[in-house]
Amino acid sequence: MTRLRLICAAALLLATGTAYADPCKVTIESNDMMQFNLREMTVPTQCTDVEVSLKHSGQLSAKVMGHDWVLARDSDMSAIINAGLAAGSKHGYLAENDKRIIAATRVIGGGESATVTFSTSALQKGVRYAFFCTSPGHATVMRGTFVLRDADGIANAGDPSTARR
């Protein structure tokens, strides 16, 4: 009976740890194979600020296989990447004071992480924004969508019965 109580207590502790995860804080990983582990990031409209942490799980240095995380309108992505190429590695492949960039981390290498916090005031609910890596050539595969959505749409995102919402 004591063993059963211990197991139930442990299960409750684990459940409460995930139940209180902050939906306004998102972690995305990159690796040495030019990959993000997420294709879509969805944040509830109740978030006034969002914190995105980029973790590089690889081993290669930033000079060899560096990654960043940049958020912008999908229509601005190509122009931001081209301006970043012109800015070069010295500026982290981001043009200085580029108003099209909503948020961006610095370029990191294997074992490093970077975090950016930004306001959602400039984002529109339901609009698909693009996130991508600006290191040369990486955005062709290192990209995804970022959406600000009502909390009920996030909770049901994996439920096939709500797919046509």
Separation between Cα atoms, residue 67 and residue 109, nearest integer Å:
7
In a domain, 5, yes or no: no
Q: What are residue 144's DSSP bridge partners?
A: 131
Residue type, 108: I
Distances (CA, A) of 106 to 11, 99, 116: 38, 17, 9
Separation between Cα atoms, residue 59 and residue 16, nearest integer Å:
33
Separation between Cα atoms, residue 96 and residue 119, nearest integer Å:
20
Tokens at 73, concatenated: 């309108």
In a domain, 4, yes or no: no
Asked if residue 90 has pLDDT above 50, the reply is yes
Which pLDDT tens digit goes with each residue over 143-164?
A: 999 999 987 755 444 433 333 3
In a domain, 17, yes or no: no
In a domain, 136, yes or no: yes
In a domain, 162, yes or no: no
Nearest Cα residue to 113 out of 146, 67, 145, 71? 67
Supply the range of the domain harboring residue 81: 23-156
The pLDDT value recorded for residue 126 is 83
In a domain, 165, yes or no: no
Helices assigned H by DSSP within 23-161: 62-65, 77-87, 151-155
Distances (CA, A) of 5 to 9, 10, 16, 17, 135: 6, 9, 16, 18, 52
Count of domains observed in the chain: 1
In a domain, 164, yes or no: no
Q: Which residue has the higher pLDDT, 13 or 165?
A: 13
Residue 55, φ and ψ in degrees, nearest 5: -120, 130
Largest distance between two CA atoms of the chain = 68
In a domain, 6, yes or no: no
Which pLDDT tens digit goes with each residue over 125-134?
A: 888 899 999 9
The model's confidence at residue 1, banded by pLDDT at 50, 70 and 90, is low
Which CATH number goes with the domain that contains 63? 2.60.40.420
Determine the average pLDDT of the residues in 84-93.
Answer: 96
Say if strands 101-104 and 143-149 run parallel, antiparallel, or are unpaired: unpaired
Residue type, 67: H
Confidence (pTM): 0.81
The pLDDT value recorded for residue 162 is 35
Say if strands 49-56 and 101-104 run parallel, antiparallel, or are unpaired: unpaired
